[in-house]
Chain A
């Protein structure tokens, strides 16, 4: 059973850095072909993709957030992390981590197949 769990401070002050970690249980973060992702959801709103990481450390970021985000991976601890710099109230959201498994059906199709329960991060002084 694959399980993901987000952890980190639930309250961050404006202009500071939001830091979250996603611990993965029941799967190896080094599995070939699997990527690991962060998605956020503003209160009462839709979903926004933040970025992906591969176990090698290769990252792909949402261009709209790229200047402020860093996603890293620690294969020895089987977890990956998100840092979001210079936060404002607009960064208040539920942050989800998930696995992206690429399914081959003629072409490689990304499936967000396992998700963490989400971590609410509020930006406020």
Chain B
């Protein structure tokens, strides 16, 4: 069973800064099946990135995903106030395996 561990648990930054969020898999995984979701307080998650690096429709280019193997990164450049949220990485391991990381809270 693949476990995704995100770090840090909480990241405190200011608008205009760059945020770097990490997602580490317990063993090497295909980047094809690594996604990132954003969840604002009181809202449902929103798809940001799939295939480790492809932005979903409507996602600004200040969001960048990268990585391979066991280490994946979500970088958010020039933080906007609306970017402060919880971010989850997710891996698809097959028809009965959808695994989420525990989340990173990005706060001001």
Kindly list chain A residues whose C-beta atoms are within 8 Å of the C-beta of B101.
46
Contact with B along A88-114 (1 / 0, CB 8 A): 000000001010000101110111110
Total count of chain B residues near the partner, CB < 8 A: 24
The answer to whether A105 touches B54 (Cβ under 8 A) is: yes
Q: Interface segment, A7-15, A25-33, A60-68, A71-79? A: A60-68
Residue of B nearest to A101 (CB): B47
Chain A contact residues: helix, strand, loop or mixed: strand
B45 touches A112 (CB 8 A): yes
**List of B residues within 8 angstroms of A111 by Cβ:** 35, 47, 50, 56
User: Are A48 and B44 neighbours in the complex by a CB distance under 8 Å?
Assistant: no
- Least CB distance, A39 to chain B, in whole angstroms: 8
Chain B window 8-44, contacts with chain A (Cβ cutoff 8 Å), 1 for yes, 0 for no: 0000000000000000000000001101010000011
A-B contact count (CB 8 A): 60
- How far, in whole Å, are A112 and B56 apart by their CA atoms in the complex? 11
Give the shortest distance, in Å, between A107 (CB) and chain B (any CB): 5
- With a CB–CB cut-off of 8 A, which chain B residues contact A48? 100
Q: Counting chain A CB atoms within 10 Å of each CB, which of B88, B96, B98, B102 scores highest?
A: B98
Chain A contact residues, CB within 8 Å of chain B: 39, 45-49, 52, 60-63, 96, 98, 103, 105-107, 109-113, 115-118
Known interface pairs A47-B45, A109-B92; 18 further A-B residue pairs with C-beta atoms within 8 A, sorted by A's residue number: A47-B37, A49-B99, A49-B100, A96-B45, A103-B50, A105-B51, A109-B32, A109-B35, A109-B51, A110-B33, A111-B47, A111-B50, A112-B47, A113-B56, A115-B44, A115-B46, A117-B44, A118-B44
B: residues with CB less than 8 A from A are 32-33, 35, 37, 43-47, 50-51, 54, 56, 88, 90, 92, 95-96, 98-103
